[in-house]
């Protein structure tokens, strides 16, 4: 888990901050990109003071970029947060202990949401945030929307008439692979895929190199980058027998409303895979 947290931080530290004005003071702020996406779905716009600067970057945001850029962005320093005197701070599970202590000393409420590794954990995060911001009904509606997207993905798989799950692996830039007991592992299963990361001896979050992957390729590689990564576009990938489909990195890191988008994309990939094999 520590490895994943480190990799997640490295992947997301690529955005700048925009100035937060006085209108943001006293409102809810989010300093975590995954919490951003949930907050933007649930809150009235006037409730939101600022969101994390990650969500202003197209390579880091799991929220709708156009929507995210309507709100000021903020970093994670205690000084920035305290200056806004927020009514609530939504943070991830790895908030700096010194920042957390500084906020608690000033009686600023902080709700931390660790990385969700299951659909159930994601639903619980939504419920917690919805209750904290006074939007329980919207939280329930979002969970219902997610469940419907998952059901559609599962029913589409069933309608294809192929009971065998497709062996697949999600392969990101640098060779990073999500394995068992991750959220995307659960989503793959619901959409008719088998995450075979464990066949390579990989742990929950691990790395596999090009040589090893190409020597024993799965039937399907879900390429999880942003389109410009050197490794993910290596010429050797054109010579292996695997099918390759793009699965945006923005669908990998976060839970919440991202689950519905990921389920839709996986369902489309599943149908494309079967269509390509129909005589």
pLDDT in tens, 56-66: 988 778 888 89
pLDDT at 119 over 90: yes
Please give the residue that has the higher pLDDT: either 47 or 236: 47
pLDDT at 25 over 90: no
Within 10 Å of residue 203's Cβ, how many Cβ atoms? 14
Q: CA angle, corner 214, sides to 212 and 219, nearest 5?
A: 120
> What share of the chain in percent tops pLDDT 70?
86
The rounded distance, in Å, linking the Cα atoms of 195 and 75 is 35
Lowest-confidence region among 46-50, 159-163, 166-170, 254-258: 159-163
What backbone phi and psi angles, to 5 degrees, belong to 269?
-65, -40
pLDDT at 161 over 60: no
Q: Specify the pLDDT at position 257.
A: 96
Q: Specify the pLDDT at position 143.
A: 98
Q: Say which CATH topology domain 161-276 has.
A: Rossmann fold (3.40.50)
Please give the residue that has the higher pLDDT: either 215 or 24: 215
So what CATH class is 10-114? alpha beta
- Taking all residues of the chain, what is their mean pLDDT, rounded to a whole number? 86
What digits encode the pLDDT tens for the residues 75-97? 989 999 999 999 999 999 888 89
Within 10 Å of residue 207's Cβ, how many Cβ atoms? 15
Within 10 Å of residue 246's Cβ, how many Cβ atoms? 14
Query: CB under 8 Å, gap of 24 or more: what pairs does 100-104 form?
Result: 102/78, 103/78
What digits encode the pLDDT tens for the residues 94-115? 888 999 999 999 999 999 999 9
Query: In terms of DSSP bridges, do strands 28-30 and 88-92 run parallel, antiparallel, or are they unpaired?
Result: parallel
Q: Specify the pLDDT at position 73.
A: 93
Nearest by Cα to 112 from 136, 132, 98 = 132
- C-alpha to C-alpha distances, 25 to 17, 18, 178, 197, 222, nearest whole angstrom: 17, 15, 38, 46, 42
pLDDT at 196 over 70: yes
Mean pLDDT on 225-234: 64
pLDDT at 187 over 90: yes
What are the structural domain ranges in the chain?
10-114, 161-276
Same fold for the pair 10-114 and 161-276: yes
> Which residues have CB under 8 Å from 42's CB, separation 6+?
126, 129, 130, 133, 135, 138, 139, 142
Please give the residue that has the higher pLDDT: either 54 or 4: 54
Mean pLDDT on 248-271: 92
Exposure string for 50-72, b = 16+ CB within 10 A, e = fewer = bbbbbbbbeebbbbeeebbbebb
Q: Specify the pLDDT at position 225.
A: 67
pLDDT at 229 over 70: no
pLDDT at 148 over 60: yes
Mean pLDDT on 10-21: 44
Q: Specify the pLDDT at position 140.
A: 98
Write down the H helix ranges in 160-235: 183-190, 210-215
Write down the H helix ranges in the chain: 2-12, 33-42, 65-68, 78-84, 97-105, 119-132, 136-159, 183-190, 210-215, 258-276
Lowest-confidence region among 12-21, 210-219, 251-260: 12-21
Contact 250, 258 (CB under 8 A): yes
DSSP state of 35: H
pLDDT at 19 over 80: no
Q: Per-residue confidence at 214, pLDDT binned at 50, 70, 90? A: confident
């Amino acid at each position: 888990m520590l490895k994943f947290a480190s990799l997640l931080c490295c992947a997301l530290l690529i955005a700048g901050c925009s100035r937060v004005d006085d209108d943001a003071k006293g409102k809810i702020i989010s300093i975590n990109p995954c919490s951003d996406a949930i907050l933007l779905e649930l809150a009235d716009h006037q409730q939101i003071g600022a969101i994390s600067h990650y969500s202003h970057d197209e390579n880091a945001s799991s929220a709708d970029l156009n929507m995210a850029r309507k709100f000021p962005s903020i970093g994670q320093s205690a000084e920035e947060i305290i200056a806004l005197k927020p009514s609530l701070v939504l943070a991830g599970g790895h908030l700096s202990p010194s920042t957390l202590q500084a906020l608690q000393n000033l009686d600023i409420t902080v709700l931390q949401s660790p990385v969700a590794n299951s659909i159930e954990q994601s639903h619980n995060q939504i419920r917690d945030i919805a209750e904290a911001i006074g939007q329980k009904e919207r939280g329930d509606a979002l969970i219902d929307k997610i469940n419907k997207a998952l059901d559609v993905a599962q029913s589409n798989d069933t309608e294809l008439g192929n009971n065998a799950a497709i062996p697949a692996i999600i392969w990101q830039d640098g060779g990073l692979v999500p394995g068992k007991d991750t959220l995307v592992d659960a989503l793959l299963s619901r959409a008719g895929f088998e995450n075979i990361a464990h066949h390579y001896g990989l742990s929950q979050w691990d790395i596999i190199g090009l040589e090893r992957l190409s020597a024993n390729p799965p039937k399907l590689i879900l390429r999880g980058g942003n389109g410009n990564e050197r490794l993910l576009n290596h010429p050797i990938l054109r010579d292996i027998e695997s099918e390759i489909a793009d699965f945006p990195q923005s669908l990998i890191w976060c839970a919440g409303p991202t689950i519905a988008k990921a389920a839709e994309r996986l369902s489309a990939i599943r149908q494309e895979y079967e269509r390509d094999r129909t005589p």
